[in-house]
Structure 1
Amino acid sequence: MSTSINERINRLRSRRSGLDRSTVIAMDAKDFIVNRSLTQEAWEHRAKDKPNTTFALGAMQEVDPTYTRISIETAERVSNQLTKRVTGNMEFELQGSVPLNVHIRGVSDVDLLALEANFHTYDSSGSMSRSGQYNSPTSRTSLGVLIARREEMSRVLRDAFPAASIDTSGSKAIKLQGGSLARPVDVVPSHWHDTISYQASRQKHDRAVTILDSHKNITIENWPFLHIKKVRERCDTTGGGLRKSIRLCKNLKAELEAEGQTVAISSFDIASIIYHANLHSLSAGSYYELAILAETQRHLDYLWNNKEEARRLIVPDGSRFIFNTEEKFNGLLHLSVAMDSLLQEVAKEQSYLLSLSEKPLLDASRAAVTNAVIF
């Protein structure tokens, strides 16, 4: 591999414990992380004397639930301050990796949707619209509402968290970190959009969210809850293997970036790519955990070598193709090559015969790890 595996294990441990981001959180939260990091996690004791295997297993595991709970509680603290201080009514929802449980950092940014409660848009072709269930049209526009709300929330958050860093330079989120906050929080001004599907089902996952791109002065529709629902349901059919594969990819991407390589593919796209992996093979990870590594490597390699098929893959919420830019194939290549190397190194630790080869064949490497029993 391109770097010492022990360095990768140390960085993995640091990411999971939160030590890598201890400078962006409150002092009491930092003390908690430092004390917690002194205790090793279960994965660190597995596959002794086989460090590549240890890394692969650790990279699949969920973050300590205590860390996740603190992330959610910090987002709730921010939403409570906004509720008290802004004009009008707001609703709040979490989106992204934390509610889906595919985040890889103990100190993970939390995406908080700040939804305008008294304004939403709807598809006029939907059943609720046709039956006259919406109020009369208003002169207010999505763009105007969200620009005004973003400006107000920026002021309010500075007053509510005076010691925190408030960054409004991004196009979509107001970023808070430091001060008294135990986790960084990204607040996204938004409102609901009632799609045709939502008007028929009345289910939250069918409801779209409209957000502001303040740099381009436009609004964008997203389906964060449909994405969460689709990935969660498919993961359940694999006994958790899908989430483990996503975390493995995200951790390996983090390693490549720590080593100075750019991997031009987002966490959302990684989750979408793995969503299309072989479910039966991922399910084998319930008994043979390294089978998840084997399937992840196979799937990435297959997509790189079959780009036309890759171009036809759609994100779980159905809103677009995954590979909607050619740049993403560069990201796929870097991630796929790194996964090849990890698989080969793990296979050499699991098979004496393969350990005699500097770079064993990928088919043989997959066979060696797929049925390996790790205690």
Structure 2
Amino acid sequence: MIDFEKRLKSLKERRQGSRERAIYESMDSVTANSAVLRGVDVRKSESFESLNEVNGVKYTIGAMAPVESQSTKISIDEGNRVADSLIRSLQNNGESVTKRLQGSVALDVHIKGHSDVDMLIVVTNPVNVELPKVSPNGYSPSTDPRSLVNIARDVRVKSEKILPEKFPAAKVDAKGNKSISLEGGSLKRKVDIVPAIWFDSTSYQRSGQEYDRGIKIYHKEDHELILNYPFTHIKKVNDRDTRFSGNLKCVIRLMKNMIADMPDYKKRIAKKLSSYDLAAIAFHMNEDLNVPQYMRLSLVEKTRSHLSLLNNSKAYRDTLNVPDGSRKIFDTDDKSEALGILTSEITDLAKAIYNELKPYNVGYDSSVILSKSVF
């Protein structure tokens, strides 16, 4: 049986931080100490907390909801602050670079109030052009004698030197192969800096739309460039989410929160499905996402049914690509194992909500959740 009181507490802390943290961030230390001892809670009450519903419904609606916009803005602002400072120094050191936001914060499917933010630092000149070129005369030859991979490496090496100088009080971790992370000091959020170069696909050469443009991320250990299409992913997910009135992102956040609330022995396996993979899984729910806002609880049953289908039919799940079409969702065996755990957890959630709504009934009747309105 799911302890929804405990789940609501953990959900609140993910979204707004602990009660103690919120107090110490809003008061001087003497006043804060007194407030903590008196049990004061300065965190805002969110709409899901005031629902006149059982705790399972409150938790689910809260788990689907976006993080408060002001908290998201702080994450983006901190990412931009670090990136802008780094870019100025890189430009002074002979590198031509720009920035882009990617990841869960860019899509607004993050589930933590104090969420990490991913900032791409992208080489602007030269660029990698997919052949054959759509317009052979559309690009000038590079005047930089370095190879593209060496340019990306140099941006990485210089960034590792610059960031500790610009943010001396922060902890800078350069051990990651794809990113350099910063946290602490003056930073209100953890920021991941990801050096990359542009990849001008033939689709981008034809359309001129950035969502068709690829990036190649520099991998430090392997000294190679790895192709991604983060802006295509964002565009595809945003378009489908708009089509279904925000329900796609609701399902993504729900699955992410379910994994976050798993015991560690399950979470270690379930996290083999990245946020990117979870977005892809929800993306393929298609018309099952077409429910009115006041019936979003039904997305629990629709998600359970979709995951069960994927879990039980390897032939079907092996046909599914991520939204940008660059690879299969289930491209490793451990993702299938993770799917099994996630399916079980969502099934338990549906049954636990049903038992709260119909405490005297035996078994599980999906129509109860499918027809439940929440205002």
User: In the alignment, what sits opposite 2:242?
Assistant: 236
Partner-residue secondary structure (3-state), 2:289: helix
User: In the alignment, what sits opposite 1:256?
Assistant: 262
RMSD: 2.2
The alignment's TM-score, normalised by the length of structure 1, stands at 0.90
Work out whether 1:72 is the aligned partner of 2:76.
yes
| Cα distance in structure 1, aligned partners of 2:27 and 2:320 | 42
Work out whether 1:144 is the aligned partner of 2:172.
no
Amino acid at match of 1:234: R
Segments of 5+ residues of structure 2 without an aligned counterpart are 29-35
Work out whether 1:267 is the aligned partner of 2:271.
no
Deviations 1:171-229 (A, max 9, x none): 10100101000111100001101001000001000100011111222210100000000
Verify the 8 A CA contact 1:71 1:182 in the aligned structure 2: yes
The alignment's TM-score, normalised by the length of structure 2, stands at 0.90
Work out whether 1:55 is the aligned partner of 2:59.
yes
Work out whether 1:374 is the aligned partner of 2:343.
no
Matches within 5 A, 1:294-313: 294-313=301-320
Segments of 5+ residues of structure 1 without an aligned counterpart are none
Partner-residue secondary structure (3-state), 1:127: coil
CA deviation after TM superposition for structure 1 residue 22, in Å: 5.9
| Cα distance in structure 2, aligned partners of 1:146 and 1:219 | 8
Change (3 A) 1:372 1:316: same
Verify the 8 A CA contact 2:19 2:41 in the aligned structure 1: no
Change (3 A) 1:116 1:30: farther
| Cα distance in structure 2, aligned partners of 1:316 and 1:20 | 38
Partner-residue secondary structure (3-state), 2:112: coil
Partner-residue secondary structure (3-state), 2:261: helix
Aligned mate of 1:156, from 162, 187, 190: 162
CA deviation after TM superposition for structure 1 residue 307, in Å: 1.4
Aligned mate of 1:195, from 193, 201, 212: 201
Deviations 1:251-307 (A, max 9, x none): 00111155763212111100001000132x322142312111111111111100111
Q: Percent identity?
A: 33
User: In the alignment, what sits opposite 2:361?
Assistant: 356
User: In the alignment, what sits opposite 2:49?
Assistant: 44
| Cα distance in structure 2, aligned partners of 1:21 and 1:99 | 28
Amino acid at match of 2:148: S
Deviations 1:2-35 (A, max 9, x none): x522111111110001339969xxx85898xx99
Verify the 8 A CA contact 2:294 2:374 in the aligned structure 1: no
| Cα distance in structure 1, aligned partners of 2:308 and 2:20 | 32
Work out whether 1:318 is the aligned partner of 2:325.
yes
Amino acid at match of 1:317: D
Aligned mate of 2:105, from 90, 98, 102: 98
Amino acid at match of 2:141: S
User: In the alignment, what sits opposite 2:32?
Assistant: none
| Cα distance in structure 1, aligned partners of 2:275 and 2:141 | 40
Verify the 8 A CA contact 1:347 1:369 in the aligned structure 2: yes
